[in-house]
Structure 1
């Protein structure tokens, strides 16, 4: 399983999530986006709707009757009724359940940096876990740091 650590800086959280979501959808994959903050989930829901008619990102907040059909689901829980094999942690709070997915995207900022460092250390040397750390260079391009 692969875990991509994304240290947020230049690009806003919402824009990073939109980019990852679009890439996964283009590859025919499903995604579960998790955050404990209902306000953040609501903000992400609006952002995914507001991508414009040409770039609408199909999604829904969890708890609806069509959860299983949603390519992207927004939730406070790591349960994936949409059978997503990709998890995006949007609130910077590591969840051990991420290890049950094929791939996890762990987004963190300066406020959640210590938690990300701890998760990085705890995952070191674990069988079947491939960690990757991404940060933006001066031009805003995502560069793997190792």
Structure 2
């Protein structure tokens, strides 16, 4: 089965603002999530962010390098791994996973104000489209909400 992949083009808000909201929604939908970042330093930063992003909110999470990763509903890592048996993968910092097909859903979050990140996302879109995966491109609207701008279907999905 092909993963459902969303490309999230950040324009109105930063990753720091968008990631916690997307994680919150995924948790509410009953998913387990692994967040892949570009380095150990970025994992530490995201860990701190998730502890403090809203005073009245808490996102249960942990880091893959701190043990008990399998118990975490949200696991942060900089390696291409799935330590908490997640069904959702969130890619940040331009990282790419070789395990995308092992997840039911993948979020690729990229900074649309960074020309290099934008080009990387375009290249990845073409690569994953060539694999026949179902892709959806979301762009932030004027108010920061997500608007679907493009969609491809996996060959097995047919036309609806």
Q: Same fold (TM over 0.5)?
A: yes
Distance in 1, matches of 2:66 and 2:102, equals: 23
Equivalent of 1:50 in 5, 30, 52: 52
Counterpart of 1:75 in structure 2 is 77
SS in 2 for 1:63: helix
- Gapped regions of structure 1 (runs ≥ 5): none
Q: For residues 47-126 of structure 1, what are the structure 2 equivalents within 5 Å?
A: 47-52=49-54, 54-109=56-111, 110=114, 111-126=116-131
Counterpart of 2:36 in structure 1 is 34
SS in 2 for 1:39: helix
Counterpart of 2:140 in structure 1 is 136
Distance in 2, matches of 1:38 and 1:74, equals: 10
- Gapped regions of structure 2 (runs ≥ 5): 151-160
Pairwise CA distance, 1:28: 1.7
SS in 1 for 2:65: coil
RMSD in angstroms over aligned alpha carbons? 1.5
Pairwise CA distance, 1:69: 0.5
Equivalences, count: 145
Whether contact under 8 Å (1:5, 1:134) holds in the other structure is yes
TM-score, normalised via structure 1 length: 0.91
TM-superposition CA deviations, 1:53-84 (whole Å, max 9, x none): 53110101112331110000000112112100
Pairwise CA distance, 1:52: 4.1
Whether contact under 8 Å (1:32, 1:78) holds in the other structure is no
Whether contact under 8 Å (1:94, 1:115) holds in the other structure is no
Pairwise CA distance, 1:125: 4.7
Pairwise CA distance, 1:86: 0.6
Q: For residues 4-43 of structure 1, what are the structure 2 equivalents within 5 Å?
A: 4-43=6-45
